[in-house]
């Protein structure tokens, strides 16, 4: 790792009112051979910290001699929200991943997205954006948006083909340029993350082989499932969310199965039951222990198996 081809630098955003400098860490590995520029981002949402750990292990384990091209990694895209373990930036309460391509005359978060768009996302040939379930939920799937071979190389059991992305996501910048783009949703919640981190590193290395950055055959996985429909189960009411069973990602359920009860903290009585929404369901994001939940939170995400495609 200690070589001149591993370069640490900073992307300056602004001086804060406290006098502190807000700058994003940039980690570049300049490969020994010519090849593509691959960009990997983590912590676009500050409460999704798996990506930082995956990037740490990639940074420490990849040598420049192995690499064709340039690997640019941004482990913490929103340091203020990372610090606060918050999805949104505490200073202006904006969600960085809804503000791209940003503005250099806008709110602080829009200035971060503007810097990321103009100095990072506009300069890469492949893009991998690592997200997670956040503080409470656990998640396990990846998006297949504009390059299914590249997405499948992450070797997730579940892929999701969105009809359209949320507006203002970081991926919108690379998608507009036709850059192969994969958003990974991996881990999170109140469980050990070691398995997710190890898989993240192993499978991103496989994506780097698919991108022509690392040598070797691209590993494939049969039995992957491409989902065309995902439903986010957002409770109407807040309180404590009591899971009704072990609904870990990848498990299949019939319709009308109770996933969780929302219990009022005033009466300790259930005020809402969350049920599987489709006739045939597959769990994508869940809460596996009792958690505080707010109205509108991501409580569960469920895929529709009736219009899913099983891939060879
Ligand atoms: Zn996220």
pLDDT tens sequence across 154-182: 999 999 999 999 999 999 999 999 999 99
Using the mean position of ligand 1's atoms as its centre, give its distance from the Cα of residue 26 in Å.
19
Using the mean position of ligand 1's atoms as its centre, give its distance from the Cα of residue 85 in Å.
12
pLDDT tens sequence across 99-157: 999 999 999 999 999 999 999 999 999 999 999 999 999 999 999 999 999 999 999 99
Token pair belonging to 74: 């941004």
Using the mean position of ligand 1's atoms as its centre, give its distance from the Cα of residue 148 in Å.
20
What dihedral do alpha carbons 190, 235, 162, 218 form, nearest 10°?
20
Could you tell me which residues come within 8 angstroms of residue 142 by beta carbon, excluding any fewer than 6 positions away? 151, 154, 156, 158, 159, 160, 182, 183, 184, 185, 186
Using the mean position of ligand 1's atoms as its centre, give its distance from the Cα of residue 306 in Å.
26
Angle between helices 194-210 and 50-61 (to 10 degrees): 60
Using the mean position of ligand 1's atoms as its centre, give its distance from the Cα of residue 299 in Å.
14
Evaluate if residue 2 carries a pLDDT over 70.
no
Using the mean position of ligand 1's atoms as its centre, give its distance from the Cα of residue 112 in Å.
16
Evaluate if residue 1 carries a pLDDT over 60.
no
pLDDT tens sequence across 247-290: 999 999 999 999 999 999 999 999 999 999 999 999 999 999 99
Q: How far apart are CA 230 and CA 228, in angstroms?
A: 7
Q: How far apart are CA 177 and CA 171, in angstroms?
A: 10
Using the mean position of ligand 1's atoms as its centre, give its distance from the Cα of residue 251 in Å.
22
pLDDT tens sequence across 198-224: 999 999 999 999 999 999 999 999 999
Average pLDDT taken over every residue of the chain:
97
Using the mean position of ligand 1's atoms as its centre, give its distance from the Cα of residue 151 in Å.
17
Starting at the earlier edge strand, list the strands of the sheet with 239-243.
270-275, 258-263, 239-243, 291-293
Backbone phi and psi for residue 76, each to the nearest 5 degrees, phi listed first = -130, 95
Using the mean position of ligand 1's atoms as its centre, give its distance from the Cα of residue 186 in Å.
10
Selection from 275, 272, 279 nearest residue 254 by Cα: 279
């Amino acid at each position: 790792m200690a070589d001149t081809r591993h370069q640490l630098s900073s992307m300056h955003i602004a001086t804060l009112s406290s006098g502190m400098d807000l700058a994003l860490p940039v980690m570049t590995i300049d490969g020994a051979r010519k090849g593509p520029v691959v960009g990997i981002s983590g912590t676009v949402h500050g409460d999704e910290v798996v990506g930082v750990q995956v990037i740490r292990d990639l940074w420490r384990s990849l040598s420049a001699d192995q690499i064709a091209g340039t690997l640019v990694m941004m482990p913490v895209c929103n340091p203020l929200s990372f610090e606060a373990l918050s999805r949104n930036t505490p200073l202006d309460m904006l969600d960085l991943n809804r503000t791209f391509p940003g503005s250099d005359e806008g709110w602080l978060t829009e200035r971060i997205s503007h810097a990321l768009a103009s100095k990072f996302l506009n300069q890469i040939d492949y893009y991998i954006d690592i997200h997670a379930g956040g503080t409470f939920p656990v998640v396990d799937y990846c998006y297949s948006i504009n390059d299914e071979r590249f997405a499948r190389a992450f070797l997730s059991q579940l892929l999701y083909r969105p009809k359209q992305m949320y507006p203002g996501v970081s991926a919108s910048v690379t998608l507009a340029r036709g850059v192969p783009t994969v958003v990974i949703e991996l881990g999170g919640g109140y469980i050990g993350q070691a398995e997710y981190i190890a898989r993240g590193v192993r499978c991103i290395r496989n994506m780097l082989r698919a991108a022509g950055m690392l040598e070797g055959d691209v590993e494939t996985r049969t039995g992957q499932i491409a989902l065309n429909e995902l439903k986010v189960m957002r409770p109407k009411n807040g309180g404590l969310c009591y899971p009704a069973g072990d609904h870990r990602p990848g498990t299949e359920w019939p319709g009308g199965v109770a996933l969780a009860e929302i219990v009022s903290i005033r009466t300790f009585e259930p005020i809402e039951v969350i049920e599987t929404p489709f006739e045939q369901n597959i769990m994508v994001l869940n809460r596996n222990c009792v958690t505080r939940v707010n109205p509108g939170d991501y409580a569960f995400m469920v895929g529709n198996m009736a219009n899913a495609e099983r891939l060879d």
